[in-house]
Amino acid sequence: MRINRSTFARTAPAALGGLLSGYAALAVAELVSAAVRPGAGPVTAVGGAAVDRTPAALKDWAVRHFGTDDKLVLQLGIVATLGLLAVALGLLALRHRRTGSAGVLLFGAVGGAAAVTRPDSTGLTDALPSLAGALAGAGLLYALIGTLRAGRPPAARAAVRDPGEGPAPAEPAPVPDPAAPAPWWDRRRFLAVAGAGVLVSTAGGALGRRLNSGRGRDAAAGREAVRLPAPASPAAPVPRGASPRVPGISPFTTPNADFYRVDTALVVPKVSAGTWRLRLHGKGVRGPRTYTYAELLGRDLIERDITLTCVSNEVGGPYTGNARWLGVRLADLLREAGVRPPSQGGPADQLVARSVDGMTLGSPVEEVMDGRDAMLAVGMNGEPLPFAHGFPVRMLVPGLYGYVSACKWIQDIELTTFDSYDPYWVKRNWARRAPVKTQARIDTPKPFARLTAGPVTVAGVAWAQHRGIDRVEVRVDEGPWRDADLAVEDTADTWRQWSWRWQADPGGHTLTVRATDRTGTTQTEERTRTIPDGASGRHSVVVGVD
Ligand SMILES: Nc1nc2c(c(=O)[nH]1)N[C@H]1C(S)=C(S)[C@@H](COP(=O)(O)O)O[C@H]1N2
Ligand SMILES: [Mo]
């Protein structure tokens, strides 16, 4: 294909027309999604479907490299891909006007199908945003391409029909006078149609955005209005010795704003507490029950410090945090509903929690009811749960990784068996049962820090939720293990800070840490991947001492 001025003058408006049509399609979809359901828009639906189909290893990689930004990266990727597809459809439409527009409709159908099959779909109407957007995009593309062909003289028409493959045309394509408007497109009409299209879709998209964020604002206002009751069973104050002031160490209580976030939600669900309901049903439940938010707040609440850890946390990684949670003791609720643990003859050994965004997490009923402080949490560090951490209600089970216990935006609890149902992550090859592995992390010094010879404080945190940390040891290079100073324990469900005074001598050094939990088990040296049940191995940091 020869790229000359005339080819460019022809294809550039067509490509632009494709892009504008794609833009119009997304904008109109945004508007219609405000009327249907905010989560039913094509980018969210296709993105969600992509997340669910992403192999665990790739997802793990994405979480590791982009952290909480993994979703932003995915959405930008989808929009960029759509942009390229739109340009391709514009070019296709230049040659086959109807086929180009039909292509836009086809992508609309794909978006619609993705929206309808999402786990949080509310029915066939979820396809409407994608379909309406595609109709608008297809129409705009058809009209724009019309302005390109309308003004085209017969000679140029012939040149257009010949895509440029095969033998070069005997006659050279007409070379336009660069000063004169290209004869084969009616620039004025193109600009008029494009301008009108952009104007209308921008207005529609902006209106949709306003309506969608208005709903979010309503939920936010509802959250602001929540007054959390005082706990019937308060947590003791964090012992003063639990967090000695060591510069560079993680604070004992992680502020909400710094608490790690791991989930598959492309858009944080903004659930209204007023309309929220929790259903409890399944094997061994005496009649299904439904709870409102007000009913949960009206019960006796417990307040507990619990350290939550993600199974995707690498050795030394950041996906662990400690907060003071307020909530309803889950075992009480279950017992009232007639549920007994398997050890007392109960028929269900798995509790499956479902969220408003269709996530499913399975926890062992035995652990949930064995006396530990498993709860339906409503408060985090003195405020109602932040939306990102599960408002209005989430589950927590001390001692278990988040993906088998910590369902955010929970709306349904079903008692079932491990044999009869695999929740979301188990379908993706993660383990059915996953107690947190004993781990220690060096927070300071940082990797590759340049230090001065002399006393250096090495410090960090160690966790073995529900077993408790009994010992932390540090060693320099291949030297002997030395006992670190352990901060006072808050509870067995929280992490424990540790520190060690090191007389650093010049040279390059590797600092390694290991923890021993209260069962007497020292964390293994053997490095494993995070999948299927959490990383094992010891954290090391390499530093230089001058
Ligand atoms: N609805 C929902 N709940 C969820 C998840 C999710 O993807 N969706 N992720 C789980 C995982 S893997 C972890 S580690 C914790 C993280 O909770 P946080 O984001 O509040 O730290 O939430 C759990 N609950
Ligand atoms: Mo997780």
pLDDT higher than threshold 60 for residue 158 = no
- Helix/strand/coil for 480: coil
Which amino acid residue places its CA nearest to atom 16 of ligand 1? 262
Question: Which atom of ligand 1 is the closest one to the Cα of 263?
Answer: 7
Q: How far is the CA of 402 from the centre of ligand 1 (A)?
A: 6
Q: Is the confidence at residue 175, as pLDDT, over 90?
A: no
pLDDT of 523: 96
Which ligand does the CA of 120 lie closest to? 1
Take atom 4 of ligand 1 and give the residue whose Cα is closest: 407
Q: How far apart are CA 338 and CA 10, in angstroms?
A: 73
What value does the mean pLDDT take over residues 40-68? 78
Predicted confidence band at 76 (pLDDT cuts at 50, 70, 90)?
A: confident
Q: Which residue's alpha carbon is nearest to atom 2 within ligand 1? A: 408
Nearest ligand for residue 394 CA: 1
> In the chain, pLDDT over 90 holds for what percent of residues?
76
Q: State in Å: Cα 409 to ligand 1 middle.
A: 9
Query: Mutation test of ligand 1: which of 74, 325, 408 has the most ligand atoms closer than 8 Å to its C-beta?
Result: 408
| Statement: residue 151 has pLDDT above 60 | no
pLDDT band at 214 (very low <50, low <70, confident <90, very high): confident
* For residues 320-343, average pLDDT: 98
Supply the pLDDT for residue 184: 64
Nearest ligand 1 atom to the CA of 310 is 14
The reported pTM is: 0.85
Could you say which ligand is closest to the alpha carbon of residue 386? 1
pLDDT of residue 285: 98
Task: Supply the pLDDT for residue 179.
Answer: 46
Q: Which atom of ligand 1 is nearest to the CA of 309?
A: 14
Residue whose structure tokens are 């209106």:
207
Q: Among 79-83, 239-243, 364-368, where is mean pLDDT lowest?
A: 79-83
Give 546 or 158, the one with higher predicted confidence.
546
- The CA 155 to ligand 1 mean position distance, Å, reads 62
CB pairs under 8 A, 24+ apart, for 106-112?
A: 107/82, 107/134, 108/25, 108/42, 108/133, 108/134, 108/135, 108/137, 108/138, 109/134, 110/46, 111/29, 111/42, 111/45, 111/46, 112/42
Three-state SS annotation for 167-216 = CCCCCCCCCCCCCCCCCCCCHHHHHHHHHHHHHHHHHHHHHHHHHHHHHH
Lowest-confidence segment of 207-211, 258-262, 359-363, 413-417 by average pLDDT: 207-211
**Region 200-213 average pLDDT:** 91
Could you tell me the distance, in angstroms and rounded to a whole number, from the CA of residue 402 to the centre of ligand 2?
Answer: 5
| Pocket lining for ligand 1, CB < 6 angstroms | 259-264, 308, 310, 355, 357, 359, 389, 402-403, 406-409
The protein residue with its alpha carbon nearest to ligand 1, atom 9, reads: 263
Q: What is the pLDDT of residue 68?
A: 66
pLDDT at residue 485 tops 70: yes
Report pLDDT digits (tens) over 91-143: 999 999 999 999 999 999 999 999 999 888 888 999 999 999 999 999 999 99
pLDDT at residue 62 in the model: 73
Q: Please, what's the largest Cα pairwise distance for the chain?
A: 91
CA end-to-end distance (rounded Å), the chain: 63
| Mean pLDDT rounded to a whole number for the chain | 90
Going by alpha carbons, the residue nearest to atom 18 of ligand 1 is 261
The better pLDDT of the pair 153, 476 is held by 476
Helix (H, G, I), strand (E, B) or coil at 32: helix
Q: Which residue's CA is minimally distant from atom 19 of ligand 1?
A: 261
Ligand number, closest to the Cα atom of 269: 1
Which atom of ligand 1 is nearest the CA belonging to 311?
A: 14
pLDDT (tens digit per residue) in 470-479: 999 999 999 9
Ligand located closest to 261 CA: 1
Mutational pocket test of ligand 1: of 60, 68, 262, the residue with most ligand atoms within 8 Å of the beta carbon: 262
In a mutational test of the pocket of ligand 1, which residue from 118, 263, 267 has the highest number of ligand atoms less than 8 Å from its CB? 263
Structure confidence by residue, pLDDT tens digits, 369-409: 999 999 999 999 999 999 999 999 999 999 999 999 999 99
Q: Which ranges in 327-409 belong to alpha helices (H)?
A: 330-336, 365-368
